[in-house]
């Protein structure tokens, strides 16, 4: 079984699109997508320097366009699984057939602009945390009112929040951890991005998605998503929710994926997979597709490991987790055994910035509350279990 993966922000490199423009039709394709994204993807991908392409408003549509451009050179009908990291989920959704390439690039343009605007509202940032006891790290984050943003696996967690909180956390880190400040515009995948989520939701409401033609994994919980409308809702919510790439990698292993192609700019996700699955005997064969010179190896991998995609398996349950520290309160009258719909508000977390909604990531039955009313919760803490098949 073969998976194609789309990387997220931070993987870009100056000039990484240059060799792709030698292929017939690729420059015209990029110019069309540039009109949709509102930026010059051709110039940015070939001439933009590191600082210019680090700009969130430019980086996000550039990465989605690069992944789609390369995937058009592959026999995707033989690919069974797609997934993406953060903004890479938009490309993965297009490759699975949920979105058109044009819709994915347009949404990436809106997402990038609005997240950049949200970053400018107050001084926030992100830091990488290596090692340490996961529970101790999450408790320390809650103490400093910080948020887990990316659970990348292999002992790597990216945290985000106010700059003063990040500084205090770095000055007194949890035992056995290494904290590295990241050069980013702000606190992505946290409640600080709420204005961007609202703006993206307004545009996404005008899109009619289709159900995926292959297994499509979600950053929210690593689940395989069966329905296009649900995936579109997840893509919007992911702007303020943690990226659970660790769960996506575990789902790849659970599915029995034997080979992976990482789309350009490739390398980051391949490294995370190798580290997360090291010693398990489940490390897949990987091709990092960075230039057209890598296409032969990617096509050979598909020929050896690919096959027609079957229907996505419905997960047996989904776990709803806290995206922020605070005091949890369930919706009054919502008891275990009740049916819930995807996107339904099932509770709130009260923070110093106000109440943050907790929503179901899929339809099913509320099988178990994992946190009680008025419990203090930390980011990433399980709140509820939803069982049954998504509808």
191/160 Cα distance (integer angstroms): 10
In Å, how far are 64, 156, 217 from 180, measured between CA atoms?
27, 11, 29
Residue 149: strand, helix, or coil? strand
Query: Model confidence at 380, in pLDDT bands (50, 70, 90)?
Result: low
Among 259-263, 353-357, 380-384, top mean pLDDT goes to 259-263
289/269 Cα distance (integer angstroms): 12
pLDDT in tens, 37-68: 999 999 999 999 999 999 999 999 999 999 99
373/235 Cα distance (integer angstroms): 28
Residue 195: strand, helix, or coil? helix
- Give me the count of residues in the chain: 391
Burial class from Cβ neighbours inside 10 Å (0-12, 13-18, 19+) for residue 205 reads exposed
pLDDT at 371 over 90: no
CA 127 and chain centroid, separation: 17
pLDDT in tens, 158-172: 999 999 999 999 999
Position 391 scores a pLDDT of: 37
Query: Model confidence at 388, in pLDDT bands (50, 70, 90)?
Result: low
CB 183 within 8 A of CB 322: no
Q: List the catalytic residue out of 144, 189, 305, 361.
A: 189
Residue 125: strand, helix, or coil? strand
Write down the pTM of the prediction. Answer: 0.81
Query: Model confidence at 316, in pLDDT bands (50, 70, 90)?
Result: low
189 is catalytic: yes
Position 313 scores a pLDDT of: 46
Residue matched to tokens 């579109």: 232
pLDDT at 322 over 90: no
Position 390 scores a pLDDT of: 39
Closest CA to 42 of 53, 56, 57, 55: 53
**What does DSSP assign to residue 172?**
S
**What does DSSP assign to residue 128?**
E
CB 134 within 8 A of CB 174: no
pLDDT in tens, 203-261: 999 999 999 999 999 999 999 998 999 999 999 999 999 999 999 999 999 999 999 99
**What does DSSP assign to residue 243?**
B
Query: Model confidence at 181, in pLDDT bands (50, 70, 90)?
Result: very high
Average pLDDT of the chain is 92
Domains recognised in the chain with CATH numbers: 2-116+191-305 (3.40.366.10), 121-181 (3.30.70.250), 317-387 (2.40.50.100)
85 is catalytic: no
CB 371 within 8 A of CB 354: no
With a pLDDT cut of 90, the percent of the chain lying above it is: 80
Q: List the catalytic residue out of 86, 127, 218, 363.
A: 86
């Amino acid at each position: 079984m073969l998976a194609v993966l789309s990387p997220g922000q931070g993987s870009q490199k100056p000039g990484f699109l240059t060799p792709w423009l030698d292929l017939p039709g690729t420059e015209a394709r990029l110019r069309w997508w540039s009109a949709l994204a509102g930026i010059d993807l051709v110039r940015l991908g070939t001439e933009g320097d590191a600082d210019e392409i680090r700009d969130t408003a430019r980086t996000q549509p550039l990465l989605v366009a690069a992944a789609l451009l390369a995937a058009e050179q592959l026999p995707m009908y033989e690919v069974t699984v797609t997934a993406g990291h953060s903004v890479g989920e938009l490309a993965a959704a297009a490759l699975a057939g949920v979105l058109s390439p044009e819709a994915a690039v347009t949404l990436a343009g809106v997402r990038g602009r609005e997240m950049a605007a949200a970053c400018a509202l107050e001084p926030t940032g992100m830091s990488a945390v290596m090692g340490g006891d996961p529970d101790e790290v999450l408790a320390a984050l809650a103490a400093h009112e910080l948020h887990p943003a990316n659970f990348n696996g292999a002992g790597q967690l990216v945290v985000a929040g106010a700059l003063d909180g990040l500084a205090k956390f770095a000055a007194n880190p949890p035992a056995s951890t290494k904290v590295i400040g990241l050069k980013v515009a702000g606190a992505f995948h946290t409640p600080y991005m709420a204005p961007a989520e609202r703006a993206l939701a307004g545009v996404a409401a005008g899109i009619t998605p289709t159900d995926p033609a292959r297994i499509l994994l979600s950053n929210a919980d690593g689940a395989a998503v069966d329905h296009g409308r649900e995936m579109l809702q997840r893509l919007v919510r992911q702007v303020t929710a943690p990226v659970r790439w660790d769960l996506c990698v575990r789902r790849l292993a659970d599915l029995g994926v034997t080979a992976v192609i990482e789309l350009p700019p490739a390398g980051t996700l391949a490294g995370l997979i190798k580290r997360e699955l090291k010693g398990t005997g489940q490390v897949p064969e990987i091709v990092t597709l960075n230039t057209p010179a890598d296409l032969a190896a990617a096509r050979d991998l598909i020929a050896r490991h690919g096959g027609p995609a079957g229907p996505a398996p419905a997960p047996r349950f989904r776990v709803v987790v806290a995206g922020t520290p605070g005091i949890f309160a369930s919706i009054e009258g919502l008891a275990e055994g009740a049916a819930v719909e995807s996107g339904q508000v099932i509770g709130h977390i009260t923070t110093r910035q106000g109440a943050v909604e907790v929503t179901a990531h899929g339809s099913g039955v509320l099988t178990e509350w994992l946190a009680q009313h008025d419990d203090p919760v930390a980011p990433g803490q399980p709140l509820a279990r939803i069982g049954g098949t998504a509808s």
